[in-house]
Amino acid sequence: EKNFFLLAGPCAIEGEAMAMQIAETVTGIADRLKIPYIFKGSFKKANRSRVDSFTGIGDEKALRILKKVSEHFGVPTVTDIHEIDDAAMAAEYVDVLQIPAFLVRQTDLVVAAANTGKVVNLKKGQFMSPESMKHAVAKVTDSGNSQVLITDRGTMFGYQDLIVDFRGVPVMKQFAPVVLDVTHSLQQPNQASGVTGGRPELIETIARAGIATGVDGIFIETHFDPASAKSDGANMLPLDQLERLLTRLTALRQTVNDF
């Protein structure tokens, strides 16, 4: 029976060399484990805590790198969009358009993404219930696009913490395939420093719970050296830990497939 699928890559496209290296490594692992793989990279970081945070290397430049990854490794790609005009632009380069969690209530943006005909990946707002994602999905399908995913990246718990509510997995699977974003789910937002913290040592714990509860896909931000990454360094998985993690998740998935 079939394995879960994987959205993985660096938080932001920092340059061509790093994108190609990460894609090569992850493609190799995914091939060995028979995991359908979608390369992930942001062409722009638009919602940083502070104005002096890194926001990208240039939109078109980053998008062209995504296209090159796709062609070179034969994998689909996903990127996130923040403005209505981004939808048509990004759709020329990638296969999946992702709506960030903070923006999933912006009807015009969701509809613009839907209208490209690309797959739309809706991040569940940290302030939304699993049940309420039904309405977000309907904005895509009512636009005539039936290709939609929901990605859970945790729910606000107090000011500086997020919890994944696994009760939401079967609830949201009624609306669309469900992906668990295991790296952002472990963020610790609203830190006094203005830099989001994280608990990456718990990635495997959260990912295992996701597979056990039946998620269809796993989303992981990964980097050769998270500490040197230009964004989200606190949460990414070191790339050399990825194969062990995916091997275990594949084993769990096979067990669940037999239920």
H helix or E strand, kind and range, residue 8: strand 5-9
Q: Is 214 in the site for its own copies (CB under 8 A)?
A: yes
Indicate the residue among 20 and 111 with the shorter CB distance to its own copies. 111
Indicate the residue among 119 and 136 with the shorter CB distance to its own copies. 136
- CA gap 221, 235 in Å, rounded: 8
- DSSP 3-state of 67: helix
Count the neighbouring beta carbons within 10 Å of the beta carbon of residue 117.
13
Of 2, 31, 92, 127, the one binding its own copies (CB under 8 A) is 127
Indicate the residue among 23 and 149 with the shorter CB distance to its own copies. 149
Indicate the residue among 19 and 206 with the shorter CB distance to its own copies. 206
Q: Is 106 in the site for its own copies (CB under 8 A)?
A: yes
Residue in the block written with tokens 């495997």: 204
Measure CA of the first residue to CA of the last residue in the chain; give whole Å: 11
In the chain, helix, strand, coil percent, each to 5? 40, 20, 40
Q: Which amino acid is at 177?
A: P
Indicate the residue among 162 and 239 with the shorter CB distance to its own copies. 162
236 token code pair = 């990414």
Q: Is 194 in the site for its own copies (CB under 8 A)?
A: yes
* Residues in touch with its own copies (CB under 8 A): 46-53, 55, 82-84, 102-103, 105-108, 111, 125-129, 131-132, 134-135, 138-139, 142-143, 155-161, 163-167, 169-170, 186, 189-190, 192, 194, 199, 202, 205-206, 208-209, 211-214, 248, 251-252, 254-256, 258-259
